[in-house]
Structure 1
């Protein structure tokens, strides 16, 4: 089994000149450069943009619905990489409430898992087709107070990887931690990112 080394690509403003930051997490089989290309469709003026790269292009080996231990040590290692990126941004002068997250698919699951384990006030959280990770969700893993952080969670119905039932379960946990949730479930939408989802993401990025 593998763990991750911290490799990030950056775009937008240098962190020391930016007021805001966004951490973008790619999906399985994809790349940091692929997810960072979404910047051309997002309102990221004034942002520094950071995208970590998963070892072997996958944040963890099995489905996000597998028992957590089956996805170790890759999953814990992935969460550590994100935590390290967050720490770097804070050290460069960006406050946590100005840090945003965006992930697609496996990256969306990881986005939700990291932020919900570390619930606090963030700029915004955009999880495009994702849910919290594990065969069963353990409420004790998720602590803190989002303090009305805006959170967008989407999926297709049905989606080949992310069942609506898990999305709904995840939404309930985030709401308990006081996240301000926008949930969108698209009938018959393939496993992709739509223009409407990008528009909803921009509403969070610009508010």
Structure 2
């Protein structure tokens, strides 16, 4: 189970109007993902990066049956829920809370916001999709009410099949997200400058 550990940067939650929750990938760290903020239009944001216990949010592929990733998956989702509630308690409204994730962190980000669909500030998911051996539609409720969402991914990607990205796009679109998906041929498992540019144009505006 995860022990909630938060690394912060940017403005204090109590002094900021917007907050960005940044979710690192497998083997990464909160500090790693926070460094990405240097390339984003987020200088006035509170930057909040949870750290996964053991540097991984769940043990197996995001395409595994969810039960195989328990109790870590539920614990990771709980960490995000607690983080959102603490930001709101600090005075930032839900529609000014933004999310960003890479790889395993992008999958966790998309799973969390879709299970808790609401009008958020925006979501940037660099190489990710909804979690599970299939789409578990029964887990998803609420409406995004026009929340801008950007997903970028490579075709192919060694961890995230393009088919799952497209299925994720459909679920979020039907839930009311203003979703943009860009698929890059042979980009590799990384974050490209074009993805950064699009995130700044579509999400962090």
Which bin holds the TM-score, normalised by the shorter protein? over 0.9
Which residue among 50, 53, 56 is the counterpart of 1:52? Answer: 50
Contact 1:103 1:111 in 2 (8 A): yes
Match of 1:6 in 2: 4
Contact 1:44 1:205 in 2 (8 A): no
**Structure 2 residue 27 is matched with structure 1 residue 24:** no
The 5 Å alignment of 1:174-193 reads 174-193=172-191
Residue by residue over 1:56-115, the C-alpha shift from the partner in whole angstroms, topping out at 9 and shown as x without a partner, is: 100000000000000000000000000000000000000000000000000000000000
Distance 2:126 2:161 in 1: 13
Match of 2:101 in 1: 103
The 5 Å alignment of 1:129-144 reads 129-144=127-142
**Structure 2 residue 93 is matched with structure 1 residue 89:** no
Q: Which residues of structure 2 form unaligned runs of 5+? A: none
Contact 1:43 1:205 in 2 (8 A): no
Q: Could you tell me the TM-score, scaled by structure 2's length?
A: 0.99
| Aligned-pair Cα RMSD in Å | 0.7
* 1:109 alignment partner, SS class: helix
Task: Give the length in aligned residue pairs.
Answer: 205
Distance 2:90 2:54 in 1: 29
Deviation of 1:153 (Å) = 0.7
Distance 1:144 1:127 in 2: 20
Distance 1:8 1:204 in 2: 26
The 5 Å alignment of 1:118-133 reads 118-133=116-131
Q: Could you tell me the TM-score, scaled by structure 1's length?
A: 0.98
* 2:47 alignment partner, SS class: strand
Deviation of 1:138 (Å) = 1.3
Which residue among 195, 198, 201 is the counterpart of 1:197? Answer: 195
Match of 2:36 in 1: 38
